[in-house]
Structure 1
Amino acid sequence: MGPNETSFGTLGSPNIDAIHSQSQPSSFGKGDQTVTDLKYRDGREVLGDDLKWNSRADGSNSTYCANTFHSLTSDLKNVVETTLFIGRRVEIKLYKLALYDKGGHFDWHRDSTHGENHHATVLVALNTSWEGGSLLLRHNGQEMSSFESDSSSESGSEHDPDSLPSLTAAAFYTDVEHKVEPITEGVRLILQYDVFVSLEQDDP
């Protein structure tokens, strides 16, 4: 890593302080504008291109990369192609890392699309502890929740940097409304991936 780069930890053991120091206030789309309104959305974020993760918690290089972005992205791609978009090829691209600490929230909204073939979102909760902050999903009059308090099974525990962390994910189409309820304690870290769907179908 270069002298001006910051280690954000690993997927299984994120460095919350480093992430917060490099983050910026979250904005959202309103019509043809991008705005910031803490009453509607109170959170912070780091864009995907700015994320830098070590492959080991001590910052050293590791030939075992099961807990790297590449492995996680590959796993997410396989799941999405066999659930949301059967028979289609998809590309999973990291859009940003969202951080919600105490009081953080995001009211009902649909995700802005980043291309004509952007048709879904995948959210991955990292191993941190929080209270509140449930993700609510709403579509065609039906509502469900995900990412309940302390949803990560390894929250607050020691994590082997050479093992694949156990992470919780939620995937949904871009026409699904969703909401992040207020965080009452702790910090909620979420990786947000855009799902782009190929116009070509896989061969049967």
Structure 2
Amino acid sequence: MSGAKSLLEAAEDKVMEQLSDAIKGYNSTAAFSCGGTVPIDIRSTTRYGDFTSAKTPITSPPVTIRWDDQDGDVAGKIQFPVPSGKENVLEKLVKSCQPATFGFGGGNVLDERIRKAGKLEASEFSTSFNPYDYGIVDAVSQALLPGIARPEGIDKVENGANAQHWGVVAELYKLNAYSAPSDKFKPHVDTPRGLTQFGSLVVCLPNPHEGGILRVAHKSVERFFDLGRNDSKTDSTIHWAAFYSDCEHEVLPVTSGHRITLTYQLYVSEHLGGVVHPTFPTADPKFYPLYQSLKEMLESPAFMKKGGTLGFHCVHQYAHTNNTANQRLPHALKGIDVVIFTIFKSLGLKTQVRPVLDQEFNEGELDWNDPEFDEEESEKSAKSLTRALPEFKEIVILGEEAGFEPQDFELAKHWGKYDIFEHVKWLDQGDQKNNEIAMAFPEWCGNEHETGWWYSFAAILVDVPPFSKRNLGED
């Protein structure tokens, strides 16, 4: 039995090692794209989604497009989804488009062997759709901005804006029409339109078509966005994808119908603010490159067969030792942190962001005066424990009554009931620069009185059921 157990442990360790390597390399090899959907609600009369209810997903009313002819006069108006009997208006829109060019050698080139599509310039049309209204720009900021907002050795942009306050500006660039039987755009890399442009956003309006899949690749990793896919024949959904400018991408041939998209240029700017829906994120976790790796890990019988707790120390810094952190987290997560959180949550697992005490707290409780004290075994046992506080709070002073280091009863007094987890499977080690002082206490060193400190991390904790009860259905 012990041999079988060691083999199982070795298999589990291998899975953890592979996943840890994938997470370490996320920012350099895989954090290059994100995507999602916004359902159309034909009964809606407002541009804005319902941000007031955590039980109601964000939806969009039908999208209106108005466009001009070559003389600058209004040529037509159309809604997406296209109402029955208005197909001729769609054909009129497509015919109003000019052949689309692409950037090459500092200029614009027209070559239908490379790109065959139609386009309207931003000055030639208007739309009722705004990506800011539905959390799309905020989702892009969370997923992509951390990868470019803190380049090594650079803290400020030219205008002096602090990198911590950077945000995303989405500028409407073009309307594109890719039509059957063969419109396409072969593999290419975009030409940046300015020093602060870092990527592109493609919004596909709901219109029946086949083909036209967007392939985005960075180094050895590639993603496929089927922007025309709907989950049912009666479903009308806006699909979107965003990616970095240095990514190779292509539009595969459209084999039927018309693929109508709005393209936006993405720029770094000072943060403009926005609202992230607490329960129904606009970004679809399945489009994150780590999704499949995490799902396969949980589907493996070699991984946490008896269940347990999976942990991840947040990579990005959050001011978490204050009472307002409970309102901001998990909604303020960004980069790899929001990716990890939303993937596990989408797989139906209980996922929380909680303050976790530094391991040194456990070591501070060792009983050095016990005659049977075994330092090595006690330290090993202490390090296997993880104390997760129930909520984020301001720094507190402990140990005043007894005049020595705080004990568990004092934690319960100030924080309420908290959890002690044994043998948490950590996906990362935790960066000391991301911890914050959680509590202070008096301590004595001989006759000298000093102040001691305990630190906490903001961490993501995932309850993993036993393998026999593991149902990875999506929320």
TM-score, with structure 1 as normaliser: 0.77
* CA positional deviation for 1:152: 4.2
Q: In 1, Cα distance between the equivalents of 2:78 and 2:192?
A: 29
Q: 1:130 and 1:12, CA in 2 relative to 1: closer, same or farther beyond 3 A?
A: closer
Structure (1/2) with the larger helix percentage: 2
Structure 2 residue 269 is the aligned partner of structure 1 residue 198:
yes
Root-mean-square deviation over aligned CA pairs? 2.8
8 Å CA contact retained: 1:5, 1:52? no
8 Å CA contact retained: 1:139, 1:176? yes
Give a deviation string over 1:95-130, Cα, whole Å, max 9, x none: 001111011000001122111001011111111111
Q: 1:201 and 1:45, CA in 2 relative to 1: closer, same or farther beyond 3 A?
A: closer
Q: Which amino acid aligns with 1:140?
A: K
Secondary structure at the residue paired with 2:93? helix
Residue in 2 that maps onto 1:177: 248
Q: 1:101 aligns with which of 163, 175, 179?
A: 179
Q: In 2, Cα distance between the equivalents of 1:201 and 1:7?
A: 33
Structure 2 residue 194 is the aligned partner of structure 1 residue 115:
yes
* CA positional deviation for 1:45: 0.6
Q: 1:85 aligns with which of 122, 139, 145?
A: 145
Structure (1/2) with the larger strand percentage: 1
Q: How many pairs align?
A: 181
Q: 1:201 and 1:78, CA in 2 relative to 1: closer, same or farther beyond 3 A?
A: closer
* CA positional deviation for 1:69: 2.3
Residue in 2 that maps onto 1:124: 203
Q: 2:100 aligns with which of 26, 44, 69?
A: 26
Secondary structure at the residue paired with 2:192? coil
Higher relative contact order (CA 8 A, sep 6+): 1
Q: Which amino acid aligns with 2:75?
A: T
Structure 2 residue 73 is the aligned partner of structure 1 residue 4:
yes
Q: 1:154 and 1:35, CA in 2 relative to 1: closer, same or farther beyond 3 A?
A: farther
Q: Which amino acid aligns with 2:117?
A: G
Q: Which amino acid aligns with 1:69?
A: F
Give a deviation string over 1:54-95, Cα, whole Å, max 9, x none: xxxxxxxxxxxxxx223x333322221222114521111110
Q: In 1, Cα distance between the equivalents of 2:255 and 2:267?
A: 34
Q: 1:32 and 1:132, CA in 2 relative to 1: closer, same or farther beyond 3 A?
A: same
User: Could you tell me the percent identity over the aligned residues?
Assistant: 25
| Structure whose CA Rg is larger | 2
Q: In 2, Cα distance between the equivalents of 1:74 and 1:104?
A: 31
Output aligned runs, 1:123-202, within 5 Å. Answer: 123-147=202-226, 150-152=228-230, 166-198=237-269
Q: Which amino acid aligns with 1:31?
A: G
* CA positional deviation for 1:200: 7.0
Structure 2 residue runs of 5 or longer lacking an equivalent are 1-65, 84-88, 147-163, 274-317, 320-475
Structure 1 residue runs of 5 or longer lacking an equivalent are 54-67, 159-164
Secondary structure at the residue paired with 1:85? helix
TM-score, with structure 2 as normaliser: 0.35
Q: In 1, Cα distance between the equivalents of 2:264 and 2:230?
A: 18
